[in-house]
Amino acid sequence: MASREVSTMIKHGFIADPSLSFSPSRTTSPAKLSSPPPPSPPPPPPPLNEPTHSNPTLFDMMSEEHHREPRRKSHARVAQIMAEFKNGVVYGLSLGPSDVKLTVVGKDGYRVTMDVHRKVLSEKSRFFMEKMSCRREKGVSHMVEISECDDVEIYVETVVLMYCDDLKKKLVGENVIKILALLKVSAAISFDEGVMSCLEHLEAAPWSEDEEEVVVSCLDELHLPEDSVALILQRVSSEPTRARTDDIFLKLLTGVLQAKDDKARREMKVLVFKLIREEADHEVSKDTLYGLCHRCLTSLVLCLSEVTTQMNDPGKDRGALMGEIAREADNMLWMVDILIEKKMCDEFVKLWADQKELADLHSKIPTMYRHEISKITAQICVGIGRGRILVNRETRFAVLNTWLEALYDDFGWMRRLSSRSLDRKLVEDGLSQTILTLSLRQQQVILMKWFDRFLSKGDDCPNVQRAFEVWWRRAFIRQVIAEPDASQLQITLYD
């Protein structure tokens, strides 16, 4: 039987090129192919002033060994794939003798030659069908070389998949990165069945967060038909609207605020706060957050009103009363944290300063029940003191006028019962800085009252000595400009 061999080079990625056509001018005889090539001229001798070789360093040897082990493993896997391919395909199927020698060459020079069938390649791959359609004579043998491959193993596996009857079953158990590599090669050679099987696998398989980014990037690079990848990308992308985003956040926040299990509520508060902190593209609307703040304030007022009527009831569990107040106060504190994080807390400071009814109810309840509420004031002072809440001086003074006395009274209980969650130094620094943002006269009134309170209560009173020192130096040592202050000082501190 007459046999002719057609040889061509297919560059990395099967990039189409006019030189890849199977033309008669590229046909050679077997004898000519088997004859050794003429010897190449010897290389010129190196210059005398340069060494002919250098001894490898320990780093070079370690680096070479580091890269050698993965190559050995990859070569071993390729050898196993080739053995299974020969036993299961070439000798197991009635395809007749092979008529194509396919050589895959890696960038490192590693070569693998496969005996394959033109019929299979042409039926499975539109690329091979086009390249081999010009030579249909019986007995013609093609030699095809794929050079400069990134991963020889993946190219070989892709060819093997062309012989597989059930690709979906064959790919079960493969990891996402391997599937993406097979998808790239299948797309490059127009192996449509391989492309669809890889896409179906990606749609059904779970991804890690790291793999998710690789999947999206790979599908974007391949420019596959939109209808073939849309179902996959729906897992990670959508077209959210402001109304939809607000609706979701409203359900999450409301669910946490109304949760019945305390442990689950604490865990979900941490999680939702983390998600809100990370959320940047779709801001939670101010109306949504302040709507929930008003709900929390209303619940807190109702709770304190009930407690004032039930406090002297011997049949009422005092622990339950404390739990109800602590729960409502903790909800309010969580909302304040969210407002500070989203830089929306300025209006709440004014709202908190105006809570005269709540402050009045607070004063009628024993400290052991109410001290959690003063954490809200403490958090506001921390926010102001660290520059995360920016409000005018009247509002800053008003919030202290309404709640500073309560904070003084509750601080001892806050310190003892909330030692793990309360950062005393942070609160004291925040309160000091807040006081120092007021006018000198306002500073004087507040700090002189604090001086008397601290001398009588000691550690049960916030220590704002730093603010006291700064005020003293401002007022009596470094005063440069006499500041007129016509504001009416109406703060009332009870001993």
Query: pLDDT tens digits for 338-393?
Result: 999 999 999 999 999 999 999 999 999 989 889 999 999 999 999 999 999 999 99
pLDDT category of residue 313 using cuts at 50, 70 and 90: confident
pLDDT for the residue 265: 95
Mean pLDDT of the chain: 82
3-state helix, strand, coil in the chain (%, to 5): 65, 5, 30
pLDDT for the residue 353: 97
Q: Does residue 317 register a pLDDT over 90?
A: no
Closest CA to 385 of 425, 329, 417: 425
pLDDT for the residue 134: 61
**Greatest mean pLDDT range, 76-90, 135-149, 391-405:** 391-405
Q: What is the pTM of this model?
A: 0.69
CA gap 31, 14 in Å, rounded = 29
pLDDT category of residue 475 using cuts at 50, 70 and 90: very high
Tokens coding 54: 């250098």
Mean pLDDT of 54-67: 60
CB atoms within 10 A of CB 85: 20
Tokens coding 158: 């892709």
Sequence-separated (6 or more) residues with CB below 8 Å from residue 10: 20, 144, 145, 146, 147
Closest CA to 475 of 448, 441, 445, 425: 441
Q: Does residue 490 register a pLDDT over 60?
A: no
Alpha carbons within 13 A on the beta-carbon side of 31: 1
Mean pLDDT of 211-221: 93
CA gap 325, 235 in Å, rounded = 42
Lowest mean pLDDT across 199-203, 240-244, 375-379: 240-244
CB atoms within 10 A of CB 356: 9
CA gap 55, 340 in Å, rounded = 63
Lowest mean pLDDT across 136-150, 211-225, 398-412: 136-150
pLDDT for the residue 213: 92
pLDDT for the residue 72: 85
pLDDT for the residue 83: 87
272-275 CB contacts, 8 Å cutoff, 24+ apart: 273/334, 273/337, 273/338, 273/341
Strands 5-10 and 141-149: parallel
Q: In 3-state terms, what secondary structure has residue 56?
A: coil
Burial state string for 152-179 with b = 16 or more CB within 10 A and e = fewer than 16: bbbbbbbbbbbbbeebeeebeeeebebb
Lowest mean pLDDT across 9-18, 58-67, 210-219, 477-486: 9-18
Residue with tokens 């001892």: 412
**Greatest mean pLDDT range, 88-97, 147-156, 261-270:** 261-270
| Helix or strand (DSSP H, E) at 8 | strand 5-10
Q: Over the stretch 142-199, which tens digit does the pLDDT of each residue have? A: 788 888 888 999 999 999 999 988 999 999 999 999 999 999 999 999 999 999 999 9
pLDDT for the residue 259: 94
pLDDT for the residue 280: 61
Mean pLDDT of 431-438: 97
| Helix or strand (DSSP H, E) at 114 | strand 111-116
**Greatest mean pLDDT range, 53-62, 272-281, 328-337:** 328-337
Mean pLDDT of 263-292: 87
